[in-house]
Chains A and B, each alone.
Chain A
Amino acid sequence: MYQIVKKRVLNPTVTLMEIEAPLVAKKAQPGQFIILRVDEDGERIPLTIADFNRDQGTVTIIFQIVGATTEKLNHLHEGGFLQDFVGPLGKPTHTEGLKKVAVVGGGVGCAIAYPVAKKLHEQGCEVHSIVGFRNKDLLILKEEFKSVSHMYALMTDDGSAGEKGLVTDALRRLIESGEQYDQVIAIGPLIMMKFVTKLTKAFDIPTVVSMNPIMIDGTGMCGGCRLTVGGETKFACVDGPDFDGFLVDFDEAMARGAMYRGFERQAHEEACNLFRGGKA
């Protein structure tokens, strides 16, 4: 069992938790992820490592409440326990040798983009952070990003915070104004990453995306997380989750991501009813 040592509500749908897991904290690197199970009947879900503290032996996860499991997870409190917490899994994000990078984060993807931006910043890289949310209520990690970024651009779909528009609008403007990036790192919904790569490809700027397919074991034994990258089948849990954005088949990834939508909707409904009824 793994104890929740801290819980912080970042916005109505996004929560941060620090979990006591010293062995995971000792090895964790930005870009890697963990798999957790809330309880004995629970499914295994992957979440990216948002931060870690090697001295205190804690790992930070940030999750959006999108279904039954994240709903249940969100109902746990400080001092409570998770059934299983395994990691670090996947390959760390490659940051060596980069001098100037645009880090693009969308929604809860910012939780994954932040540790990457932080590591780049620590390495002396010039970081331009471009983050996007649907509206101001969903904004997260503003101060954190600002503290590790040379430039911070905030976009919202409805203009309720920062500028109105999409992250691609801001990225296009920066590129067209003459900013020259060694690389763009995009982390967020598949549709956002797809359009970021469409843009950067036109300007021939190498682009890395962090993929988030359905996973079960996360150790390479099932292929549930497979993607087509450059015409080849790759397992995101061991070959990734980072891939060359120009080579990823996003449309296939989006179709595969929707595989269990019916089941998920129903399970989420049941979980919500359970909590509403005050039984949990």
Chain B
Amino acid sequence: MPNMSLKKNEMPSQAPDARNKNFLEVALGYTEEQALDEAQRCLHCKNKPCVSGCPVQVRIPEFIEKAAAGDFEGAYQVIAQSSSLPAVCGRVCPQESQCEKHCVRGVKGEPVGIGRLERFVADWHNQHVQEAPEKPASNGHKVAVVGSGPAGLTCAGDLARLGYAVTVFEALHTAGGVLVYGIPEFRLPKAIVQKEIDGLKAMGVKIETNMVIGRVLSIDELLEQGFEAVFIGSGAGLPRFMNIPGENLKGVYSANEFLTRVNLMKAYKTSSGTPIHRARKVAVVGGGNVAMDAARCAKRLGAEEVYIVYRRSEKELPARAEEVEHAKEEGVIFKLLNNPTRILGDESGSVQGIECLEMALGEPDASGRRRPVEKAGSQFTLDVDCVIMAIGTSPNPLIKSTTEGLETQKWGGIIVEEETGLTSRENVYAGGDAVTGAATVILAMGAGKTAAKAIHESLSKK
């Protein structure tokens, strides 16, 4: 008899006023009892709508069935057949708009906590199973992957499972892309990312760090070196600025810089050689997950007041509902319907304040969202000594500018065939944010999977 509770089992988490002073993980994960109980809520429907909502099509009812029977390792093996990074996805996927959105239990009450169960199963595996995954038999083909973010790691994992010799080239000194430099420790512990990467290495994936493709080697040179196909998963790492006066003052960061210092360089630890501005009052401009991450990091670095400055209303905030909720609980102040017009500095060139205008929502624009319009005479100044710009990123032009014949959109996204990820260059595939512009971890994984399948179809014909 299934558990007919209308509500998901709550996830234990650190208290807001304790967690906003440390970088430890906020959500603590289910206990075995909670996981068993939650797994009983799945009705095992025949048409499995949840699976169609998952970009990598994890066989959800099948893994939940094993979990409900207490066979957590069996459950893990089911997920591992479709996903290379279950401990990551269980934590950072926006399940409310993917698998859980389609769950039948969600029609009346809350959907099954699929993400929380995936996380539990992956963590259980990582704690209890020491043996490395088996190294598949080689099929003699070589593939290069550019970028070690979610797209690249998924593509590499899928190909390695099929016996390909895969080498991943990463520009930074640590693999993981946005999973290590962008998403903070308190949402995604770096030890978990490392564990997933170690699993790929055990399957034979080679990871070469400090390799800026486009500078140290070009895409063409990779092909000349005998890689039969190349997958570009280089992401969208180029930060945007607003081009308002004062943006180059001391104390103005792109969210990428701020988060890279905090997450990759661990500037919050005293042992780190990398400095960070310990601000008193911080304004984060933007309303996405990156803005929430930056604001919550600023709070943890000791800022007394942290503002989110966003030009639309709460309803339009692009961040995950859970992150917005967490940010509020931790004391982040939301200045909605506000748009910065300039940043003010003192004599030494340091940030002293940010001037904003109040906005109202007008008619919907071409994208269907109501356009913010300025309220005349509503100008005011927020007293801050740090401003973090989190208004989006676009693909880095380095690979495009060094690869002849690689077609891109005007804004820099690489143009690909949707079903295969094939670019305008033979044997060169691309996926993730490098193609779509800034999107989600799981969409990048889906793109990595699509390309791996297409690469396999193309190379196995040879």
Contacts from A to B (Cβ < 8 Å): 23-24, 27, 37-38, 41-44, 68-69, 83-89, 216-217, 219-224, 226-228, 233, 238, 252, 255-256, 258-260, 263-264, 267
Contact = CB atoms under 8 A, between A and B. Distances in A.
B211 to A, nearest CB: 8
A2 to B, nearest CB: 9
Interface of B: 171-173, 209-212, 215-217, 237-239, 241, 243, 247-251, 253-254, 256-257, 260-261, 265-266, 271-275, 277, 348-349, 396-398
Please report whether the interface of chain B is mostly helix, strand, loop or mixed according to DSSP. loop
B171 A86 contact: yes
Contacts of A219: 171-172, 212, 237, 396, 398
Given A216-B274, A258-B250, 13 more contacts: A27-B216, A41-B273, A83-B173, A89-B212, A221-B238, A221-B239, A222-B254, A223-B241, A223-B256, A224-B254, A228-B248, A255-B249, A260-B277
B271 A41 contact: yes
A220 B247 contact: no
A233 B173 CA distance: 27
Contacts of B212: 86-87, 89, 219
A192 to B, nearest CB: 20
B348 A233 contact: no
Contacts of B250: 255-256, 258-259
A264 B216 contact: no
Given A233-B247, A256-B248, A221 B260 contact: yes
Q: Which has the most chain B C-beta neighbours within 10 Å: A23, A43, A223, A252?
A: A223
The 6 closest A-B pairs by CB, nearest first: A255-B349, A221-B237, A222-B257, A43-B273, A263-B275, A86-B210
Nearest to A257: B250
A233 B389 CA distance: 14
9 contacts: A23-B216, A86-B212, A220-B398, A223-B254, A224-B253, A233-B241, A233-B243, A252-B349, A264-B275
A42 B271 CA distance: 9
Contacts of B277: 259-260
Nearest to B218: A27
A43 B398 contact: no
B396 A222 contact: no
A87 B271 contact: no
Contacts of A41: 266, 271-273
B216 A84 contact: no
